[in-house]
Amino acid sequence: MSGKTDQVKGRAKEAAGVLTGNEDLESEGKADRRTGEAKENVDQAKDKVDEVIDQVKDKLDQAADKAKDGLDPK
């Protein structure tokens, strides 16, 4: 389940808990909402790490190409 889905589900449970006076349902909703927020944060961090890895790979490829060009007798 995606982070957004967990957040929506959590908000619905939380609201239902408030409306019905069911503290357990309200707490469960808060937990679901926070889980969704955490999942989203992890996904964003993963995307950022992947982006940095791609940048490093590009720079290494460029450096390798320069090194090869410097060693090739033409």
Residue spans of the domains in the chain: they are 3-71
74 confidence band (pLDDT: 50, 70, 90): low
**Residue 19 above 90 pLDDT?**
yes
The mean pLDDT value for 9-26 works out to 97
- What lies within 8 Å, CB to CB, of 33 at 6+ separation is 6, 7, 10, 11, 14
Tens digits of residue pLDDT in 22-71 = 999 999 999 999 999 999 999 999 999 999 999 999 999 999 999 888 77
- Model pLDDT, residue 73: 65
Residue-level pLDDT at 69: 83
Report the distance separating Cα 44 and Cα 17, nearest Å. 30
16-24: long-range contacts (C-beta < 8 A, 24 or more apart)?
A: none
